[in-house]
Chain A
């Protein structure tokens, strides 16, 4: 039973980070119908930059995080301006390939600058494990979970009440209508990419604290795909819930089934889930199916 709850807790924490990164995915999809396959590299870059700032310049964690976030936002803006804007009316495959190309460029740049060796994060959170009636939780997990939850609440308030957030929802709903109401779509796109990059960077910093930083972190960009498919590509709530579900299933499958098939199931289970979902409910739990007219 303890083993089960241990897996469950890990699943929830990892799932909350998935949810956060998936949020960036969903935002971009809602705004511009594009799938950002370079999301994993945004995560990676966020982790590496905060790590470098902390180790090379010995700045405190909070300051390092702030600088990283600013940098990531700028990166998001630049990417949107240089790559995505010229492709605004291009077919789906062009946009997918552009983000794949971008992930290759960013990945290559990261490896050229920081090398491929895994690096460990300097300890930020206290090391003594917290114990709840027999279940041991590392503080990193606890803090990560709290940070993610706070961020998610901030974002939902942002979308609900702020002018920019409402504009973003309007653009997601109907671009032409939003345009005719005086919303500057270009600003909204740019903001979307900035927010997606920032959210990914936070995910990177948290994951870096949990597992250490290495090039393989970028695979989260793919792991998050099942999350958004499960939740529905255009649903923010779906992304968050999907994150938890995938995180929990992944860890349970890794814990119980891995010994049976010889390992590696943790990475594959989300994709098996994708196949099943796409067969049964292609638009996910909360996604909107489209009606098409000719």
Chain B
């Protein structure tokens, strides 16, 4: 049936006439087309962008995978984790040990790194049955410190503070040593992760996660097995964090305990907060934002330093200050994060010029 459309009136809603329609990931044709164009743009970007920009985007995409993982745990299931840094480390070191020491191929170690991190994450998720909120946050903080200590001290396995070196993955004879090729690899994994996470929320498991977040005791009364779902949330979340850790390790080609400090954990938490808790799209926005923030500040500083020559000495402290400020401002003025801002902008234009 073809409907007449008045081109001057905005759409009034999407009407679903079948269950199949209701279950679609993209509700309208327009959405599908926009998404295809966007993915197309992402894929052709390397043709125009500089090598440096592609490197940054790769880092942003890797961070997005980790942030989506953390958002599954913190945003969807409501379990606060300050231990992401160490879980990234578990993924990175698993990849390093399996490829460099054991000699397995990257394509086998990548999922294995995810699985290993999922096991460790699930293990540290066990206390979450008894602990909530602040107590759980502190427990994950303890996990961060303890895991990092083990990594630093188990010198025979991990190389201690010196770290380990890795190589870029290969497809047959072709090595993904250029930034562009690695970018494609990471982007494809990011798209798969995004698809998985978006679909996860629409399944029984995802709905159980949301119920646990909103009120875990009520969820339990309704027949949700708290223990298995909380541990599952930790495991699924850690799986993606581990994948991100392995990708990061193969990108930088070195792993060392200092890359996985508590500051990294805080950065990841900042990503999902700035992006939007419980939003997959927000995780990506937040990850890109936090990755590009220091770069943007660097550029700003290089402009200012013409006038204030001393500013380079306090650069790192200045970055720290701005980072904290960004977190606080978002929390106070837009707790919904960038995802919420995006929605606001969209609905503003959709209803324009009659916004009320």
- Contact surface of A with B, Cβ cutoff 8 Å: 29, 33, 35, 83, 86-87, 90, 92-94, 96-98, 100-112, 116, 222, 225-226, 229, 233, 261-262, 264, 267-268, 271-272, 274-275, 278-279, 282-283, 292, 294
B324 and A108 form a contact (CB under 8 A): yes
- Which residues on B sit within 8 Å (CB–CB) of A110? 317
Q: List 27 A-B contacts (CB under 8 A).
A: A29-B134, A83-B332, A87-B331, A92-B137, A93-B80, A97-B331, A103-B324, A104-B324, A104-B327, A105-B325, A107-B321, A108-B320, A111-B320, A112-B317, A222-B141, A222-B145, A226-B142, A229-B135, A233-B134, A261-B153, A264-B152, A274-B138, A275-B142, A278-B127, A278-B131, A279-B127, A294-B221
- Which residues on B sit within 8 Å (CB–CB) of A271? 141-142, 145-146
A93 and B277 form a contact (CB under 8 A): yes
B321 and A112 form a contact (CB under 8 A): yes
Q: How far is the CA of A83 from the CA of B332 in the complex (A)?
A: 8
> Closest residue of chain B to A284, judged by CB?
B135
Count of A-B contacts with CB under 8 A? 141
Q: Which of A109, A226, A264, A292 contacts B217 (CB 8 A)?
A: A292
> Closest residue of chain B to A96, judged by CB?
B137
Total interface residues on B, CB under 8 Å, equals: 48
Given A104-B327, A105-B325, A112:B146 Cβ within 8 A: no
Output the least CB separation between A268 and chain B (Å).
Answer: 4
Output the least CB separation between B30 and chain A (Å).
Answer: 34
Given A35-B137, A274-B139, A275-B142, A107:B331 Cβ within 8 A: no
A108 and B221 form a contact (CB under 8 A): no
B317 and A101 form a contact (CB under 8 A): no
Q: How far is the CA of A111 from the CA of B322 in the complex (A)?
A: 13
Q: Which of A116, A222, A268 contacts B149 (CB 8 A)?
A: A268
Q: How far is the CA of A104 from the CA of B326 in the complex (A)?
A: 10
- Which residues on A sit within 8 Å (CB–CB) of B343? none
- Which residues on A sit within 8 Å (CB–CB) of B221? 294
Q: Is B229 an interface residue (CB 8 A)?
A: no
Q: Is B168 an interface residue (CB 8 A)?
A: no
- What would 12 more interface pairs be, CB under 8 Å, given A90-B331, A107-B320, A264-B149? A35-B134, A92-B80, A98-B331, A101-B326, A106-B324, A107-B324, A112-B314, A226-B142, A233-B135, A264-B152, A278-B142, A294-B215
- Which residues on A sit within 8 Å (CB–CB) of B266? 100, 104
Output the least CB separation between B48 and chain A (Å).
Answer: 35
A104 and B320 form a contact (CB under 8 A): yes
- Which residues on A sit within 8 Å (CB–CB) of B320? 104-105, 107-108, 111
Output the least CB separation between B293 and chain A (Å).
Answer: 12
- Which residues on A sit within 8 Å (CB–CB) of B185? none
Q: Is B304 an interface residue (CB 8 A)?
A: no
- Which residues on B sit within 8 Å (CB–CB) of A279? 127
Q: Is B231 an interface residue (CB 8 A)?
A: no
> Closest residue of chain B to A111, judged by CB?
B317
B317 and A97 form a contact (CB under 8 A): no
Residue from the set B82, B324, B335 with the largest chain A CB neighbour count within 10 Å = B324
Output the least CB separation between A27 and chain B (Å).
Answer: 15
B145 and A93 form a contact (CB under 8 A): no
B131 and A282 form a contact (CB under 8 A): yes
- Which residues on B sit within 8 Å (CB–CB) of A93? 74, 80, 137, 269, 273, 277
Q: How far is the CA of A33 from the CA of B133 in the complex (A)?
A: 10
> Closest residue of chain A to B321, judged by CB?
A108
Q: How far is the CA of A272 from the CA of B137 in the complex (A)?
A: 15
Q: Is B318 an interface residue (CB 8 A)?
A: yes
- Contact surface of B with A, Cβ cutoff 8 Å: 74, 80, 82, 127, 130-131, 133-135, 137-139, 141-143, 145-146, 149, 152-153, 155, 215, 217-218, 221, 262, 266, 269-270, 273, 277, 314, 316-328, 331-332, 335
Output the least CB separation between B324 and chain A (Å).
Answer: 3
Q: Which of B130, B146, B215 contacts A282 (CB 8 A)?
A: B130
Q: How far is the CA of A101 from the CA of B221 in the complex (A)?
A: 37
A101 and B331 form a contact (CB under 8 A): yes
- Which residues on B sit within 8 Å (CB–CB) of A92? 80, 133-134, 137
> Closest residue of chain B to A33, judged by CB?
B134
- Which residues on A sit within 8 Å (CB–CB) of B139? 274-275, 278
- Which residues on A sit within 8 Å (CB–CB) of B215? 294
Q: How far is the CA of A225 from the CA of B153 in the complex (A)?
A: 23
Given A111-B317, A229-B135, A100:B146 Cβ within 8 A: no
Output the least CB separation between A2 and chain B (Å).
Answer: 29
Q: How far is the CA of A125 from the CA of B145 in the complex (A)?
A: 35
Q: How far is the CA of A101 from the CA of B145 in the complex (A)?
A: 20
A225 and B141 form a contact (CB under 8 A): yes
B327 and A100 form a contact (CB under 8 A): yes
> Closest residue of chain B to A276, judged by CB?
B142
A275 and B135 form a contact (CB under 8 A): no
A86 and B131 form a contact (CB under 8 A): no
- Which residues on B sit within 8 Å (CB–CB) of A103? 324
A272 and B146 form a contact (CB under 8 A): yes
> Closest residue of chain B to A94, judged by CB?
B331
> Closest residue of chain A to B262, judged by CB?
A222
- Which residues on A sit within 8 Å (CB–CB) of B141? 222, 225, 271
Q: How far is the CA of A215 from the CA of B266 in the complex (A)?
A: 18
Q: How far is the CA of A98 from the CA of B326 in the complex (A)?
A: 10
A225 and B325 form a contact (CB under 8 A): no
Given A225-B138, A268-B149, A279-B127, A105:B331 Cβ within 8 A: no
Output the least CB separation between A214 and chain B (Å).
Answer: 14
Q: Which of A29, A90, A101, A292 contacts B324 (CB 8 A)?
A: A101
Output the least CB separation between B72 and chain A (Å).
Answer: 14
Q: How far is the CA of A133 from the CA of B279 in the complex (A)?
A: 65
- Which residues on A sit within 8 Å (CB–CB) of B82? 96
B217 and A97 form a contact (CB under 8 A): no
Residue from the set B218, B316, B317 with the largest chain A CB neighbour count within 10 Å = B317
